[in-house]
Amino acid sequence: VTKPITIYGLTFSTPATSEVLPCPVCCHAHHSLGSDLGTQGLFSWNNRIVFTHELLNAFTSAFTASETPFSAFCLTVRQAYLDHSREMEFCSDETFVQVWFRFTQIQTLDSGMWCPTCGSSPGVVIADGISLRTHVSKLTASIQPPTYVDETSEKIESISSYHARGLPAIIQRDMQNIINKIMTAPATCNTPDNISDIVKLGNLYPQLWAFIQLYLCNGTKSVYYKSYRDLIQQITAPDIVLQLCM
């Protein structure tokens, strides 16, 4: 049986035909056996749409070299298709994601990483693709990470991971707004007069308020002005405070 197929390439798609045989096991009208097109540089997804190795390998190269997301890569392919023909369309992002992962399962992809104890395939792999922490050059011997505990640390038997997602260092929204107003005001040695509830800020967070006063008094002449400002903004951010120690 000959059926029409669409071959998706890197810059354009091509209509073609392919010979298929009815599947002898499932006996379903839409289930059929197609040709192995691997030797032709093609990867058949469902005997109706086919992807070139050039296209799939292009995303692999882009992803490993610059961490290109699927959506961005598919957008560039669609733009290339439009340059070739206004009527030419690329497949959906969801379809391309499924096809690429299936394609990589039959590839030999070796990163070259090797554990001296476990070899090339350790039982447990911990990976982190996000870096949200203070640079090592900013650390001193007198500073402990927020995860450090001792006998004076508060003990909590259990905590909900759902509620843990919203644990900013400054939990009061009005206090966050006050600090943000201070940071946006002109840098002078005096506290801005048009900001209320500063006394409340000093009572709730005396150490932070003392640090803000240090930032204000030194002003832009201090060599640490930008570092002070960045740290205060990080502490005031509404994000979870544990990001500061990741």
The CA–CA distances, whole Å, from 183 to 104, 169, 173, 224, 240 equal 49, 17, 15, 15, 20
- Interval 156-208: pLDDT, tens: 666 555 555 556 778 888 888 888 888 887 666 666 666 677 888 888 888 98
Reported as a single tens digit per residue, the pLDDT across 3-52 is 888 999 999 999 998 887 777 777 665 677 777 777 888 998 888 899 99
What stretch of H or E contains 82?
helix 70-84
Lowest mean pLDDT among 48-62, 86-100, 191-205, 231-245: 231-245
Q: With the C-alpha atoms ordered 139, 141, 143, 146, is the resulting torsion angle positive or negative?
A: positive
Q: Where along the chain do its domains lie? A: 2-105, 136-144+165-244
pLDDT band at 220 (very low <50, low <70, confident <90, very high): confident
Bridge partner residues of 21 (DSSP): 33
Q: Position of tokens 């994000």? A: 239
Quick: pLDDT tens for 99-139. 999 998 887 766 677 788 888 777 776 665 544 455 667 66
What is the structure's pLDDT at 246? 43
